[in-house]
Amino acid sequence: MSVQEYLDKYLVSRKIEDAVNAAVRAKASDPILFIANHMKRAVSPVITKIKARQILDSRGIPTIEVDLFTNKGSYRASVPSADVSLAASVAIHEALELRDRDNAKYFGNGVSKAVAIINDKISEALIGMDPKQQSQIDQAMIDLDKTDNKSALGANAILAVSIAACKAGAAEKEVSLYKHIADLSGKTNAVIPVPAITVISGGKHAGNNLAVQEIMIMPLGASNFEDAMQMGVETYHHLKAIISEKHGPTGCNVGNDGGLAPNISSISEGLDLVIEAIDRASYNGRIKLALNVAATNFCFGKKYDMNFKSPDKSGQHFKTGQEMIEMYTKLCTDYPIVSITQPFDKDDWENTKVFTALEHCQVVGDDLLMSNPKRVERATNEFTCNALLLKVNQVGTVTEAIEVVKQAKDTNWGVVVSHRSGETNDSFISDFAVGIGAGQIKAGAPYCGEHISKYNQLLRIEEELGSGAVYAGETWRSP
Clarify whether 391 is annotated catalytic.
yes
- Known binding residues for Mg(2+): 366
Contact 257, 214 (CB under 8 A): yes
Residues annotated in the binding site, as ranges? 366
Nearest to 213 by CA among 289, 291, 130, 142: 291
Q: Exactly one of 100, 145, 257, 367 is catalytic; name it.
A: 257
Q: What is the spatial distance between Cα 147 and Cα 140, in angstroms, rounded to a whole number?
A: 13
- Compute CA distances 297 → 179, 301, 327, whole Å: 38, 12, 18
Q: What is the DSSP string of 252-302?
A: G-B-TTS-B--S---HHHHHHHHHHHHHHTT-TTT-EEEEE--GGGGEETT
Q: What b/e sequence results for 198-214 when a residue is b if at least 16 CB atoms lie within 10 Å of its CB, and e otherwise?
A: bbbbbbbbbebbbbbbb
Residues 6+ apart with CB under 8 A from 394: 82, 94, 95, 155, 370, 371, 372
CA–CA gap between residue 436 and residue 415 (Å, rounded): 10
Helix axes 155-173, 428-436, angle to 10 degrees: 70
Choice among 204, 391, 409, 454 that is catalytic: 391
Dist CA 303 CA 93 (whole Å)? 22
Calculated CA dihedral for residues 392, 397, 398, 404, nearest 10 degrees: -70
CB atoms within 10 A of CB 378: 14
Nearest to residue 324, comparing CAs of 358, 290, 365? Answer: 358
User: What span, in angstroms and rounded, lies between the C-alpha atoms of 360 and 337?
Assistant: 8
Is 15 a known active-site residue?
Answer: no
Phi first, then psi: give them for residue 53, nearest 5 degrees. Answer: -150, 165
**Which amino acids are annotated catalytic?**
257, 391
